[in-house]
A and B are shown apart, each in its own frame.
Chain A
Amino acid sequence: KNEVEQSPQNLTAQEGEFITINCSYSVGISALHWLQQHPGGGIVSLFMLSSGKKKHGRLIATINIQEKHSSLHITASHPRDSAVYICAVEGGTGNQFYFGTGTSLTVIP
Chain B
Amino acid sequence: DAGVIQSPRHEVTEMGQEVTLRCKPISGHNSLFWYRQTMMRGLELLIYFNNNVPIDDSGMPEDRFSAKMPNASFSTLKIQPSEPRDSAVYFCASSLAGGLSYEQYFGPGTRLTVT
Which of A's residues lie within 8 Å of B, judged by CB?
Answer: 30-31, 33, 35, 41-45, 48, 50, 86, 88, 90, 94-97, 99-102
Give CA–CA (A100, B41) in the complex, Å.
Answer: 10
Please name the 4 residue pairs, one residue from A and one from B, whose CB atoms are nearest each other, closest first.
Answer: A31-B101, A43-B106, A90-B100, A97-B45
Q: Which residue of B lies closest to A33 (CB)?
A: B104
Could you tell me if A45 and B105 are in contact, using CB atoms closer than 8 angstroms? Answer: yes
**B contacts with A: majority SS:** strand
6 A–B contacts, CB within 8 A, in A order: A41-B108, A41-B111, A43-B109, A45-B105, A45-B106, A96-B58
Interface size for B (C-beta < 8 A) is: 21
Q: Which of B45, B93, B102, B108 contacts A48 (CB 8 A)?
A: B102
User: Is A102 touching B42 in the complex (CB atoms < 8 A)?
Assistant: yes
The SS class assigned to the A binding surface is strand
Q: Is the CB of B103 within 8 A of A45?
A: yes
Tell me how far the C-beta of B45 lies from the nearest C-beta in chain A, rounded to whole angstroms.
4
Which residues of B42-79 have CB atoms within 8 Å of chain A's CB atoms? Answer: 42-45, 56, 58-59
How far apart are B93's CB and chain A's nearest CB, in angstroms? 8
Contact B109 A41 (CB under 8 A): yes
From known contacts A97-B45, A99-B44, infer whether A43 and B91 are also in contact, taking CB-CB under 8 Å: yes
In angstroms, Cα B39 to Cα A101, docked, is: 9
Given contacts A35-B43, A41-B111, A99-B43, 20 further A-B contacts (CB under 8 A): A30-B100, A31-B100, A31-B101, A35-B106, A41-B109, A43-B109, A44-B106, A45-B104, A48-B102, A86-B42, A88-B43, A90-B99, A90-B100, A90-B101, A94-B56, A94-B58, A95-B100, A97-B59, A100-B42, A101-B42
B89 at the interface (CB under 8 A from A): yes
Residues of B within 8 A of A50 (CB): 101
CB-CB under 8 A from A42, the residues of chain B are 106, 108-109
Which A residues are CB-close (under 8 A) to B109?
41-43
